[in-house]
Amino acid sequence: MSRARKLRNNRSAGAGTTIGAFLAVGLVSLAAPPAAHADDLGIGDWIADLFGTGDVGLATDTGTSFVEAIHTGIEGWINSDLGQQVDGVINLLAGQYLIGDGADGTAADPNGGAGGLWFGDGGDGWDATGTDHAGGDGGAALSLFGYGGDGGDGGTAMAGGDGGIGGWLFGIGGDGGNAGDGDPAGGLPALGGAGGIGGLYGSHGAVGEAGTLSSGPPVGTSDGLSNAGGWITDSDGRVVILHGLNEVYKIAPYEPSAIGFGDDDAKLLADSGFNVVRLGVIWAGVEPEPGVFDQAYLDSINQTVQTLAGHGIRVILDMHQDGYSSVFGGEGAPLWATQTGGLPNPALGFPFDYFFNPAQYYAWDALWSNADASDGVGLANHYAQMWEYVANYFNGNPSVAGYEIMNEPWGGTYGLGSHFGAGVLTPFYNQVDTAIRAVDPSTPVYFEPDLLTTNGLPLTLGTVDDPNTVLSFHDYADNFLPGFGLGAQSASNAVAYGNSHDIPVLLTEFGSTNDYSKLSDVLKIADQNRIGWTEWEYTDKGDITTTGAGHGWLVGDPSQPPSGDNLDAGKLATLAAPYPQAISGTPNSWSFDSSTGTLQFSYSTERADGTGSFDIGSKTTISTPVVEYPHGYQVSVSGGHVVSQPNAPVLVIASDAGSVGVTVKPAS
C-alpha cells in the first residue's frame, strides 16, 4: 500500500497519548508518572484549532492542515538528494538513526523499519499478495510528526499486517493491511491488520478488510432483530422495545447454568413481561490459551440462550469485564492476555483498581496498543479473532438480539486525555466489528462509551462504521451523586449520540440497588427518552465486582425456586411495569404512573424505516403482566381496538387509523 493512499485518508479523531505507547518506542519508562496532556492544561482546543487536528484527524478533505504541511516539507527534505546526503552525515556523526524513513518490508524481512528518532515515517510492511504468508507490519514512527507505516496485504487466506504507530505528538498511525481471500486452516476468514495508534493530536490507522472464504460472503438470519431509523426492529419492521435484566456469572466456568440459572428463572422473567436478557460471556472462557477457542464453553452459553428462547426471551451477548481480569480481582481477559509490566499490583478492590492500580493501567495500555501476546499476535487482534469465533458460532440464531463488544471499557493512560473515545476506542470497535461482519452480516453489534460516562460525563466516541449497531450505555450517576440530575444527563448524552448517528440506544445497566425509588426514577428517564433497558442484576451469585453491596439481586439463589424470600418481590413489582413490546408503527411516547398503575401510550402506523405505513388492522403488543395487574386491567383505545382476551398478560391492539392512543388502568 502506498504512502500516497495514506495521505488521502480522512482519519478519525486524534488519539490520546499513553505511557505504554512511549514505552513501545523506548522514550520513557512505564514506571514514570504520566505526562501532562494539553487538554489537562486547558490549551487542547487551541492546539487543535491551530494545527487542524480536531475530530476529523490530520488528513482532511477540505485542505492541508498546518501539521500536514510540516510533514510534507519534512518528507520532501528526507527524500531529496541534498537531504539524504546531509541526513546521512548527521546519522553517522550521532551514531544512531535520527532522520529518515524506515525501510519498507520485504519477503526476507516482512516488517517495515522504524522512522528516524527526530524526523521520518515508519516503513510499510511487505505486501504478501500471491503468497501463503501474512502481510508484514508497518514500522513505527518515533518523531513528533512521523506517520506509521501501513501494514502489508496478506497472502491467500492470510491476515493483513498491522499498521505502525504514529509519532507521539502529531503522528498518524499506519493502516492495517487487507487479509487475503481463501480458506484458512481454522475455517474462519482471515482478518485485516489493526490500524496503528496515533499520537496525542494525530489519529489512528484504519483496520484492514477481512478476507472472504471460497464459499462466498457469510449469510445471516432473516428473522432476527435489526435497525431502522434509529429504532430496533423485528423482521416484520415493527419497532421492538426491550426490557429485561443482566445475568453474568463472573467466576469460572463463567456460565449461569453452573449456579442453577434455568427454566424456572426464564419463566419468571417471561411471566413478568421481560423480553431480553443481557447475558455475560467472558473472554477467559472463550479463549483460555492464545488462539485456542473452547467450543464447550459456548455450548454451555448456548444452553442458556435456548432456555430463554423457549420462553420468548432474546439475549444480548455481552463480552463482560470488570477490572480487566482476575489478576486485578475482576474478570474478563485470560491470564495470558494480562500484561502488567512488572508494576505494583495493589489489591484495592473494584472499582478503585481502575483509578489507582499501576499494573492495571499497563494491562489496558497493552490491549489498546495491540501489544504482542506470547504467540506474537497482538492483543487487540486476539480480541477481534475471539469475537469472530463467537459470532460465527451464533450466526443465524434469531434469539441473539446483539453482540456487545465490551462492557465498560477503561482507557488506561490513554484515558487521561480527551481523545480516548474517538481516537482509540472507536478504532478498536471498528476492528472488532469488521471481524464480526466477516462471519455474521446481520446481527446488531452493540458498543459502549468509556466507563466514566456511567456518571454523566460526555461521550467522546467517533463513528463506528456499521449502520446495524446499537449504542449501549450505563447510568449509575444518581446512585453515586444523587440530586444533581446526572442520571438524566447520561441518558440525554446517549440519545444525542444515537440521534446524530441514526442508531438505536439501549440502557444496558442501571440499578444495582434495592432502593425502589431510585429504580423508578431511572425507569421514568428511560420512558421519557423512549429507550429500552436491562437492569443490573438478576442474581449476584459470583458477582465479585459490584458496587451494589449485596442489594442488587432480584433472585438470591438461582438454584432454588424464584419465590418467597429468594425473590425480591418489591423490586420485581417495580421493574415489571407495562410497556409496548412490538409496535406496528413508530412510537410517539409512553409513560407509566406507578402510583395509579396507569400506562399511557401513543404511536403512528408509519414504518420506522420511512417506507410507508402498516396496514389498517396491523397488531401492536403491550406487556401487561399479572404481577402489575393482579386483579386485571381496563383499556381505552383511540384509533384502534383490543383483539386479545380480557386481562391477557400481553395486550394486543389492532389499528383502525394512522394514529393510535392506548390507556391501561387497573380494573376498578
pLDDT above 60 for 592? yes
pLDDT band of residue 412 (cuts 50, 70, 90) is very high
Is residue 127 included in any domain, yes or no? yes
* Each residue's pLDDT tens digit, 179-189: 999 999 889 99
| Same domain for 567 and 588 | no
Residue whose C-alpha cell is 486525555 = 417
What's the pLDDT score for residue 307? 98
Q: The C-alpha cell of 488 is what?
A: 438524566
Closest C-alpha among 11, 38, 28 to residue 172: 11
Closest CA to 456 of 496, 429, 417, 419: 496
- Both 487 and 589 in one domain: the answer is no
**What's 567's DSSP letter?**
B
Residue 79 domain-assigned? Answer: yes
pLDDT above 80 (res 9) = no
Point out the domain boundary residue: 191, 217, 243. 217
**Residues 94-108 pLDDT 10s:** 999 999 999 999 999
Name the band, by pLDDT with cuts 50, 70 and 90, for residue 46: very low
Q: Are 334 and 283 in contact (CB under 8 A)?
A: yes
Same domain, 192 and 169: yes
- Domain match, 565 and 507 both: yes
Residue 176: partners with Cβ closer than 8 Å, 6 or more residues away: 150, 151, 160, 161, 162, 163, 192, 193, 194, 195, 196, 205, 206, 207, 208, 431
Mean pLDDT, all residues of the chain: 90
Instruction: Confirm whether 346 is domain-assigned.
Output: no
Question: What is the percent of the chain where pLDDT is above 70?
Answer: 90
Instruction: Give residue 8's pLDDT.
Output: 30
Residue 286 lies in a domain: no
Q: Is the dihedral of CA 563, 567, 571, 577 positive or negative?
A: negative
- 382 pLDDT tier (thresholds 50, 70, 90): very high
CATH number at residue 518: 3.20.20.80
Q: Would the pLDDT of 363 be above 70? A: yes
| End position of a domain, from candidates 196, 217, 238 | 217
**Same domain assignment for residues 553 and 586:** no
Displacement of CA 75 from its chain's centroid (Å): 37
Domain shared by 525 and 653, yes or no: no
State the distance between the two ends of the chain, measured CA to CA, in whole angstroms.
73
Are 596 and 621 members of one domain? yes
Residue 5: pLDDT band with limits 50, 70, 90? very low
Q: How many domains does the chain have?
A: 3
- For 623-639, give the secondary structure using H, E and C: ECCCCCCCCCEEEEEEC
pLDDT at 631 over 70: yes
Bond prior to 253 in cis (omega within 30° of 0): yes
Is the pLDDT at 316 greater than 60? The verdict is yes
pLDDT at 332 over 90: yes
Residue with more model confidence, 123 or 62 = 123
CATH number of the domain that 627 lies in? 2.60.40.1180
Domain that holds residue 98: 1-217
Residue 30 has pLDDT above 60, yes or no: no
Instruction: Supply the pLDDT for residue 454.
Output: 85
Please state, in angstroms and rounded to a whole number, the distance separating the CA atoms of residues 293 and 514: 38
Task: Please indicate, yes or no, whether residues 115 and 36 belong to a single structural domain of this protein.
Answer: yes
d(CA 59, CA 295): 43
Instruction: Based on the fold, state whether residues 545 and 455 are members of the same structural domain.
Output: yes
pLDDT at 570: 96
**Would you state the pLDDT for residue 456?**
81
Residue whose C-alpha is closest to residue 242's, from 263, 269, 282, 280:
269
Query: Does the N-terminal peptide bond of residue 351 adopt cis geometry, omega within 30 degrees of 0?
Result: yes
Residues 6+ apart with CB under 8 A from 559: 259, 260
Is 165 in contact with 197 (CB distance < 8 Å)? Answer: yes
Share of the chain above pLDDT 90, in %: 84
Q: What is the mean pLDDT of residues 80-88?
A: 95
Task: Answer for the pair 153, 162: CB distance below 8 angstroms, yes or no.
Answer: no
pLDDT digits (tens, 9 = 90+) for 233-277: 999 999 999 999 999 999 999 999 999 999 999 999 999 999 999
pLDDT at 62: 37
Residues 177 and 91 in one domain: yes
**Listed residues 541, 576, 611: the one ending a domain:** 576
Which residue has better confidence, 537 or 13?
537
Asked if the structure places residue 241 within a domain, the reply is no
CA distances from 488 to 470, 515, 521, 523, 606 (A): 19, 18, 9, 11, 29
Query: What is the helix (H) or strand (E) element at residue 619, kind and residue range?
Result: strand 619-623
Distance CA 248, CA 608 (A): 32
Q: Is residue 317 part of a domain?
A: no
Q: Nearest to residue 74, comparing CAs of 205, 196, 202, 171?
A: 171
Quote the pLDDT of residue 53. 40
Q: Please list, in sequence order, all residues whose beta carbon lies within 8 angstroms of the beta carbon of residue 82, skipping any fewer than 6 positions away.
A: none
| pLDDT in the model for residue 52 | 42
Give pTM, 2 decimals: 0.91
User: What pLDDT, on the 0 to 100 scale, is given for residue 477?
Assistant: 87
Residue 611 and residue 514 share a domain: no
Is 600 in the same domain as 650? yes
507 strand-pairing partners: 473, 533
The predicted structure's pLDDT at residue 171: 95
The whole-number pLDDT of residue 652 equals: 98
Provide the pLDDT confidence category of residue 417 given band limits of 50, 70 and 90: confident
Residue 11 lies in a domain: yes
Q: How confident is the model at residue 487 (pLDDT cuts 50, 70, 90)?
A: confident
